[in-house]
């Protein structure tokens, strides 16, 4: 390899690095937003709708293969225009209703632009797959410019995530040529996971009703302190009386 080729390789490497970094920064911003929502909910409601998150960046090799399969030109501009899942973020929620709560909270944020919503919960895929998919445009503030970066967000319950993970492993083992009998069993397993989600939703609702009817003394004791992250603060005695006078 001559010096001219080495110079071209350096330039290409820098361009690809810059390209990938903006998607990484978009994921960082989204994870910060989600962590804030999680902590806020935990502090105010003693409960978080978000169990955990997982992010990933498609590798340059995987991106190029996808462009090739689609018969598209090989360039960074083509990647940005046609490949919308370079940055992916998965949020796992406790209950079905939490999925839509989290989605609404994020969609209300003024700096996020919703490009597309696909609801595979209300309209599951034929194989039984369920999840809520959002394509979001996230502003990334770099040293010399602002880049609007596309992030694919998947929001699902623990049961949905468990099913999807195992379904992926089975398809990978059979190189996507799965016997019909297994396809039927996978669909049945998806229906079972869906039934479990609805049952747990009902149980959670009943527990909330029981909690709301707890004895007054116990409720007052709980209301006399607040928890912020790992710190607990006791409210000043007589605070209610002072506020009442105001």
Convert the pLDDT of each residue in 38-86 to its tens digit: 989 888 877 889 999 999 999 988 888 888 888 888 888 888 888 899 9
Query: For the residues 141-151, what does the mean pLDDT come to?
Result: 93
Query: For the residues 20-40, what does the mean pLDDT come to?
Result: 95
Structure confidence at residue 69 (pLDDT)? 87
**Residue-wise pLDDT tens digits, 171-184:** 776 666 778 888 88
- Burial class of residue 39 (count of CB atoms within 10 Å of its CB; 0-12, 13-18, 19+): middle
Structure confidence at residue 221 (pLDDT)? 62
Contact 191, 151 (CB under 8 A): no
Q: Does the active-site annotation cover 137? A: no
Considering only CA atoms, which of 121, 124, 128, 83 is closest in space to residue 102?
121
Structure confidence at residue 3 (pLDDT)? 74
Structure confidence at residue 123 (pLDDT)? 95
Query: What architecture is the 8-234 domain classified under in CATH?
Result: 2-Layer Sandwich (3.30)
| Mean of the per-residue pLDDT values of the chain | 86
Contact 98, 37 (CB under 8 A): no
In the chain, % helix, strand, coil (3-state, to 5) comes to 55, 20, 25
CA–CA distance, 208 with 37 (Å, rounded to integer): 21
Q: What is the pTM of this model?
A: 0.83
Contact 180, 158 (CB under 8 A): no
Residue 112 scores a pLDDT above 90: yes
When comparing pLDDT for 238 and 42, which is higher?
A: 42
User: Where along the chain do its domains lie?
Assistant: 8-234
Residues 6+ apart with CB under 8 A from 96: 121, 157, 197, 198, 201
Structure confidence at residue 168 (pLDDT)? 83
Catalytic residue selected from 104, 152, 167, 216: 152
């Amino acid at each position: 390899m001559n010096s001219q080729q080495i110079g071209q390789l350096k330039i290409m490497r820098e361009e690809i690095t810059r390209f990938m970094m903006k998607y990484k920064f978009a994921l960082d911003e989204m994870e910060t937003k989600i962590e804030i929502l999680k902590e806020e909910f935990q502090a105010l409601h003693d409960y978080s709708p978000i169990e955990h998150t997982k992010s990933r960046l498609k590798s340059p090799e995987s991106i190029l293969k996808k462009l090739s399969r689609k018969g598209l030109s090989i360039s960074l501009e083509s990647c940005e225009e046609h490949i919308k899942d370079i940055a992916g973020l998965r949020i796992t929620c406790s209950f079905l209703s939490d999925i839509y709560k989290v989605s609404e909270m994020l969609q209300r944020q003024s700096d996020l632009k919703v490009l597309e919503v696909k609801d595979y919960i209300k309209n599951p895929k034929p194989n039984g797959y369920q999840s809520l998919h959002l394509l979001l445009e996230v502003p990334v503030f770099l040293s010399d410019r602002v880049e609007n970066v596309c992030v694919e967000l998947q929001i699902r319950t623990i049961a949905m995530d468990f099913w999807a993970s195992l379904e992926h492993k089975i398809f990978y083992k059979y190189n996507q040529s799965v016997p019909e009998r297994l396809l039927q069993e996978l669909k049945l397993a998806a229906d079972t996971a869906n039934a479990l989600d609805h049952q747990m939703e009902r149980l959670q609702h009943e527990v909330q009703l029981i909690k709301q009817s707890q004895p007054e003394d116990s409720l007052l004791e709980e209301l006399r302190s607040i928890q912020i992250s790992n710190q607990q603060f006791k409210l000043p005695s007589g605070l209610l009386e002072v506020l009442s006078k105001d």
